Amino acid sequence: MNKRIVADPNVCGGEPCIKETRIPVHVILSHLAAGEDQETILKNFPRLTRQDILACLEYASYLATEKVATL
């Protein structure tokens, strides 16, 4: 997928995180969903870049296209 998103069983219980951080993707997506703009997120998470935020959105978009088998 995106090289900025990694899942390591030894980091945050294997949750997808921004590479070289312990910031889970879902945290960034939650901030975006709550209406925070990128500038605010970058100020609150100084280790992040705009590319990291876009990678989170790309990851969410990818997950939204997954098909779920129904019975």
Per-residue pLDDT of the chain (71 residues), as tens digits, is 689 999 999 999 999 999 999 999 999 999 999 999 999 999 999 999 999 999 999 999 999 987 766 65
Number of domains in the chain: 1
Residue 42 to residue 45: CA distance in whole angstroms:
5
Instruction: Identify which of 40, 13, 20, 10 has the alpha carbon closest to the alpha carbon of residue 28.
Output: 40
> Is there a domain that residue 52 lies in?
yes
Q: Interhelix angle for 50-64 vs 25-33, to 10°?
A: 90
> Is there a domain that residue 24 lies in?
yes
Count the alpha carbons within 13 Å of 60 in the hemisphere toward its beta carbon: 15
Global pTM value: 0.87
> Is there a domain that residue 18 lies in?
yes
> Is there a domain that residue 42 lies in?
yes
